[in-house]
Chain A
Amino acid sequence: QQPVQSPQAVILREGEDAVINCSSSKALYSVHWYRQKHGEAPVFLMILLKGGEQKGHDKISASFNEKKQQSSLYLTASQLSYSGTYFCGTEQGFGNEKLTFGTGTRLTIIP
Chain B
Amino acid sequence: NAGVTQTPKFRVLKTGQSMTLLCAQDMNHEYMYWYRQDPGMGLRLIHYSVGEGTTAKGEVPDGYNVSRLKKQNFLLGLESAAPSQTSVYFCASSYSLAGNYNEQFFGPGTRLTVL
Task: Report the count of interface residues on A (CB-CB < 8 A).
Answer: 25
Give complex CA distance A34, B94 in Å.
14
By a CB distance below 8 angstroms, the chain A residues around B90 are: 41-42
**Is the CB of A99 closer than 8 A to any CB of chain B?**
yes
Q: Establish whether residues A97 and B43, one from each chain, have CB atoms under 8 Å apart when the complex forms.
A: no
Contact B41 A41 (CB under 8 A): no
Determine whether A10 belongs to the interface, using a CB cutoff of 8 Å to chain B.
Answer: no
The distance from the CB of A26 to the nearest CB of chain B, in whole angstroms, is 14
A96 CA to B40 CA, complexed, in Å: 25
**A94 contact set on B, CB distance < 8 A:** 98
A27 at the interface (CB under 8 A from B): no
Whether A104 contacts B42 in the complex (CB less than 8 A), given A97-B31, A97-B48, A97-B50, comes out as yes
- Taking CB atoms, residues of chain A closer than 8 Å to B56 are 97
Give the CA-CA distance A44 to B100 in the complex, in Å: 12
Q: How far is the CB of A58 from chain B (nearest CB, A)?
A: 16
Q: Any chain A CB within 8 A of the CB of B97?
A: yes
CA–CA, A41 to B43, complex, Å?
11
Given A41-B109, A97-B48, A98-B48, are A49 and B42 also a contact pair (CB < 8 Å)? no
Q: A49-B100, A101-B35 are in contact. List 19 more A-B contacts (CB 8 A).
A: A32-B104, A41-B108, A41-B109, A42-B104, A47-B100, A47-B102, A87-B42, A91-B97, A94-B98, A96-B97, A97-B48, A98-B45, A99-B45, A100-B59, A101-B43, A101-B44, A102-B42, A103-B41, A103-B42
